[in-house]
Amino acid sequence: MSLRPTLETRLAQPTMEGAGVHLHRAFGFHNPSELDPFLLFDDFRNEDPAKFEAGFPWHPHRGIETITYVLSGSVDHGDSLGNTGTLGAGDVQWMTAGSGILHQEMPHGNAQGQMHGFQLWANLPSSLKMTAPRYQDVKSPDIPEITDDDGTTVRVIVGEFWGKRGPVDGIAADPQYLDISVPPGVKKTFRIDTYRRAFAYVFEGAGAFADASQPAGVLLEKEVAGEEVNIRDLSGDRTLIRFGTGDEVTVQAGEQGIRFLLVSGAPIQEPVAWHGPIVMNTTAELQQAMADLRNGTFIKPAH
């Protein structure tokens, strides 16, 4: 077994999207190869409805998949194919935009006015850029949840983990998407296939992710116990941890415990041409997408 080194630890940055939704972005619109096959990750958490209820009105997507996971509040969605629905607390939607779709996402707070959820963008390989759009809407009770003897809880949203398989299937990036809670003071190790790129996103509590070597450019404390070197990154609320190559991730939960998403996927390793919500392989393909939007041919007829 080999421990994945922590390449980088950074806080998600505040930004605005849609019609004025205040959110925090962990990564996106910078270096698409950094976490290939994943392109962007947003944390939309707010207790002021005025900062999120304007939502994300009608906009296009092509060439990617979007994964929306709601923790509090709800999101109403609709699209150009006539699909409508609502995501509630604990629900997941995996949307394959493929050849093109126009949709809207309108968040609403819970009884206390709180809204919290995440959206992850996954790239599609060139062979699937123009595949037919589709949705996979999953209700919270259909997501497997496993509790280990030490109190660690894992919701398996996508992929297989601890003998359970998540309900979302047929995804190009072969991802694993886990919602993990580790109790206070517990040290826990999680297996990840070596071929996957991986990151963690801490959104409750804090903890320390163990490391095998000191990554450059990150201010961390180091402890040496025998031959093992533990890197204390003291990851807390809204923190991204980007891992290197290996097949294990170890975390030591802090005094309040820690809850984080652990996400991994097979890199696509293809050229990326990216403009807003459209991600293709070449500039010519981007130009064609823009022309399709202007000409009203962006949505491909169903066969």
On whether 105 is known to bind a ligand per the annotation, the reply is: yes
Using CA atoms in the order 119, 124, 128, 134, what is the torsion angle rounded to 10 degrees? Answer: -10
On whether 24 is known to bind a ligand per the annotation, the reply is: no
Question: What is the bridge-based pairing of β-strands 228-232 and 221-225?
Answer: antiparallel
33 C-beta neighbours (distance < 10 Å), count: 12
Distance CA 291, CA 36 (A): 27
The one-letter amino acid code at 117 reads G
* Paired tokens of 285: 């393909």
Ramachandran angles phi, psi of 296, nearest 5°: 75, 20
The one-letter amino acid code at 41 reads F
**48, 60 contact by CB (below 8 A):** no
On whether 108 is known to bind a ligand per the annotation, the reply is: no
On whether 59 is known to bind a ligand per the annotation, the reply is: yes
Instruction: Give the DSSP H/E element, type plus range, for residue 197.
Output: strand 197-209
**253, 190 contact by CB (below 8 A):** no
Query: Which residues are annotated as part of the binding site?
Result: 59, 61, 103, 105
Instruction: Enumerate the known binding-site residues for Fe cation.
Output: 59, 61, 103, 105
